[in-house]
Structure formats: structure tokens, C-alpha cells
Amino acid sequence: MTDDEAHSVERVLGRAWTDETPWDVLTALTELDDRMAGHEGERRAAELAADAFAEAGARDVSVDAFDLAVWTRGDCSLAVTEPTERTFEAIALPYAPAGDATGRLVDVGFGTESAFEESDVEGAVVLASTDSPPGERLVHRMEKYGRAVDGGAAGFVFYNHKDGQLPPTGSLRFGDEGELPAVGVSKETGAWLREYADRDGRVTLSVDATTESGTGRNAHAVLGPDTDEEVVVVAHHDAHDIAEGALDNGCGVATVVAAARVLADLDLDCKVRVASVGAEEVGLHGSAALAESLDLDAVRAVVNVDGAGRYRTLRAFTHGTDAFEAVLDDLAERTGHPVEVDETIHPYSDHWPFLRRGVPAVQLHSVTPERGRGWGHTHADTRDKADSRNLREHGMLAALLVRVLTARDVPRPDQSALRDRLLAADVRPGMEAAGVWPADWE
């Protein structure tokens, strides 16, 4: 980089340091009533992102629709019938079918494969924690639900492991209606239900919900030179309807907007596509539609901004592409801002439709205070948890990373090596239970 180029970058970053636009974007997103996939709030979120891209100086701004199974929440109830009679607050889990379930309570704890093997869940209402075994891999919610279905359970109750009377939500399937009525309850309710399970308790639960054909929305635009090759920067604007979706993933969209406003004033070696996609929370449908619409042979890399902007320190998941580590280490050294590099591979965010088809992908997240999603997927995912400083700084770091990637050839991930790494991490059982293990990897 020449001295003139360095000074130009410094001027751009100086302006970004006081830019309140990312915070304004987060505010606008969190003011929307319902950003659930396929609902009016998600459509408005896509339009809001498109307007922000245009204001940043991007061109070819577009809002595209894609087909989606749209789930709509209705009423929900949960009651203990034995050894006493009590009702508890609960919320239906997305893609839970309408229906009733009655049965004995069986607690499977972390919901691991061994826990289900040791439990007779046939005809039972299964209790499973949002937590995973300490020091071991994440056991995803869809994995636990899938095992309950396979075991012949009558219903599923997902209890939080965090204090605060916060029932958790989260999709049960990737884009399809599930088989069992399922609800989320708070840690405090979970404690009672676990005790009642030990006392041969029984419950009845009821879910009213619909799944209908509809559409989701993606917004995208381009910056930089008009080249065939491009770097894609993506975040999801949908959120669960029980909260504002500030951390998950309003902060991510605001971070992409912050990055776009920096990139618009930098010299880039190839085109950059900034995108805000829908329906991530219910099956990565927006990112899958975006990937399908692009020439992936011409995509140098994907930067998935899901989790960035939430907390002080940036974390980057390299998803099997070791070449990202040197780029990220250099970024941290040049800026004096730490970037924690994590080699973990997972299929549960918007990088997966690209990574699965051979595009190198890095996910920008945040170093969280503790394991788990924290406030995400609960009523407490609200704007007061966010900090405008984090949005600006992560936006600047993301922009500098993308600028490097426009000038660098990153090796494309070998699919057999990717498969082997996932097998070594022992995530195949969970991916199969969730229905996301690729059929051609058998």
C-alpha cells in the first residue's frame, strides 16, 4: 500500500469512527413489529437494508423474493396434570405443527445421543435443555428435536439454561413443518418440570400455528469495479417474532451497512456484493436463494456477518479455509484490534449454502461473555443490549477484511476434506438429526 493509499484509508476510517448510520439502521430494524420469515416486518427490513445500501453509494440495488414455507404463531398452552395441576408460560417453537400432546415427562438433559439411548421417550413429552455438555460440541436444538421424533415422543419441551424467566425460541426444522408439537419454556419453569419428571409427572401441551406457502425477501447491491469476480458480504435481517432481534441479527445488518459505507470510498480490486437476506432463522432460505442466483465460480469468498457487532472483540470462524487465518492475524496486527480466530465448522448460518458448493467462507461473530447464544432467541434480544461503538468498529474491520479479499485468491475448500473435518468433529449425528447432512456425502 502506498502512502497516499494509506492516508486515504485513514481518512475513510476517521469518518466511519463517528458515523451514526449503523446505529440508525439497527434502531429502524428493531422498531419493526415482526421480522419473522415471510411476514411483513421481514419485507420491510429488506427494503430498509436496500435503502441503506443505496445511501452508502452502492449500485444495482435490488430486492428479490423467494419461495418460503411461512410459519405463523398462534396460541400455546402447557399444563402439568400429575402429580399436581399447574399451568406454565410457554411459547411455540417455529415450524411446530398445530396439535395437542399429552404424556409422561421424560427429561433428557443436554439431549445427547447417549441421553436418548438411556431414556424411553416413546409416547412421552420430552424435556431438553438449551445447553450442551461442558467441554464438548454443541448439541443443536434441531438435533434434540429430531431425536425426540425418532424415539416416538408425543411432544417436545425446550427449557432455557439461563436465568430470567425467558422461554427460548428457535426453528425445529430447516424450512419444513415438524412432526411434534413443541414449546419453549424458561429455566425456572424447566426446573419445575424436571422435578415433576422425577415424580412420574404428566403434562398436556397445545400449539396453534399455521404453515403456508409464501415469500421471503433478499436485498443486495454492488460496490467497486464492474468485474466478473466478486466478494459477497451477507447478513440476515429476519428475526424471531418474540423480540426485537437486535443482537440476532440486527447488529449484523448494521455492521454490513457500516462496512458498505467504508468500502464505497476505498479502492477495490474486484466487485463487492453486499446483501441482507431473509429466512436464516428458519432454514437459510434467503442465502440459499442468493447463492442459487449467482455464478459461484466467480465468487472469490463469502463473508457471513452473523454475530458481529454484538460484543467488543471480533471472532472469525474460518470454516475449514486455513488461508483466512493469516489474513485475519494481519488485520488484527495492522489495526491494533484483536480478532479471535476459530477453526470450528458448522452448517447453521448463511455461509453454508456457499461453503457447501465450494466457496471459501468466513463468518464474523463476537466473543461472547459465556458459552451459548445469551439473550438471542428470547424476549430479551432488544436494542439496549447493543453498543454503537461495536457496530462501527466491527464494520470497519469487516471492510478492511473484504478489501484484502478482493485482491487475494483464497483456495476453494475441498468438499471431501470438509466432510472429513465435520466427521472428525463428530457433528454428523446432529446434522443428520437436523436434516442438513448432504446426501451426496454418504
Q: Mean pLDDT over residues 149-171, rounded? A: 96
- Residue 16 is predicted with a pLDDT of 86
199 and 187 inside one domain: yes
- Gap between the terminal Cα atoms of the chain: 47
In the DSSP assignment, the letter for residue 249 is I
Same-domain pairing of 330 and 414: yes
Tell me: the pLDDT tens digits for 255-312?
A: 999 999 999 999 999 999 999 999 999 999 999 999 999 999 999 999 999 999 999 9
pLDDT of 320 over the 70 cut: yes
Same domain, 226 and 342: yes
326 shares its domain with 420: yes
| Statement to judge: residues 171 and 264 lie in one domain | no
Domain end (from 210, 237, 268): 210
Angle, helices 40-56 vs 21-31, to 10°: value is 170
Residue 372 pLDDT > 70: no
Is the pLDDT confidence value at 26 over 70?
yes
The answer to whether the beta carbons of residues 233 and 256 sit under 8 Å apart is yes
Q: Are residues 227 and 112 in the same domain?
A: no
Mean pLDDT (whole number) for 66-82 = 97
We report the CATH number of the domain holding residue 141 as 3.50.30.30
What pLDDT is recorded for position 4?
A: 61
Q: Any idea what the CATH number is for the domain that residue 408 is in? A: 3.40.630.10
Residue 47 lies in a domain: yes
Spatial CA neighbour of 233 closest among 202, 264, 204? 264
At 210 the three-state DSSP class reads strand
When pLDDT is cut at 50, 70 and 90, the band that residue 109 belongs to is very high
Given a cut of 70, is residue 249 above it in pLDDT?
A: yes
Do residues 45 and 87 both lie within one domain? no
What is the reported pLDDT for 12?
A: 86
Confidence at residue 373, expressed as pLDDT on a 0 to 100 scale: 66
Residue 163 and residue 43 in one domain? no
| Residue 438: inside a domain | no
**Quick check: is 442 in a domain?**
no
Average pLDDT over residues 132-149: 91
- The reported pLDDT for the residue numbered 431 is 80
Let me know whether 304 and 358 are in one domain. Answer: yes
Residue 439, domain member (yes or no):
no
| Last residue within a domain, chosen from 194, 210, 226 | 210
Q: In whole angstroms, how large is the CA radius of gyration of the chain?
A: 22
The pLDDT of residue 2 is: 66
Please, what is the Cα angle at 29 between 23 and 35, to 5 degrees? 155
Torsion angle in degrees (nearest 10) through CA of 114, 119, 121, 122 = 100
Q: How confident is the model at residue 5 (pLDDT cuts 50, 70, 90)?
A: low
Q: 53 with 101, same domain? A: no
Q: For residue 10, name the pLDDT band (cuts at 50, 70, 90).
A: confident
In a domain, 435, yes or no: no
Residue finishing a domain among 175, 210, 245: 210
Query: Are 83 and 204 in a shared domain?
Result: yes
pLDDT value at position 440?
A: 86
φ/ψ region of 172 (left if φ > 0, alpha if ψ in -120 to 50, else beta) reads: alpha
Same domain? 222 vs 303: yes
- Report the distance separating Cα 351 and Cα 295, nearest Å: 16
Residue among 111, 72, 77, 71 at smallest CA distance from 91: 77
Quote the pLDDT of residue 195: 98
Residue 3 has pLDDT above 70, yes or no: no
In a domain, 103, yes or no: yes
Partners of 91 in beta bridges: 184
Percent of the chain with pLDDT over 90: 85
Residue 301 CA to residue 407 CA, distance in Å, equals: 11
For β-strands 339-342 and 314-317, DSSP reports them as parallel
Q: Of 249-253, 310-314, 374-378, 431-435, which range is least confident?
A: 431-435
The boundaries of the domain holding residue 403 are 3-69+214-424
Residue 352: what pLDDT?
A: 95
pLDDT the model gives residue 11: 85
Rounded to the nearest angstrom, the gap between the alpha carbon of residue 380 and the centroid of all alpha carbons in its chain is 16
Whether the pLDDT of residue 1 is over 70: the answer is: no
In a domain, 120, yes or no: yes
Check residue 183 and give its pLDDT. Answer: 98
Decide if 432 is inside a domain. Answer: no
Which tens digit of pLDDT belongs to each residue from 353-369?
999 999 999 999 999 87
For 174-200, how does the pLDDT look when each residue is reduced to its tens digit (9 = 90+)?
A: 888 999 999 999 999 999 999 999 999
Count: domains in the chain: 2
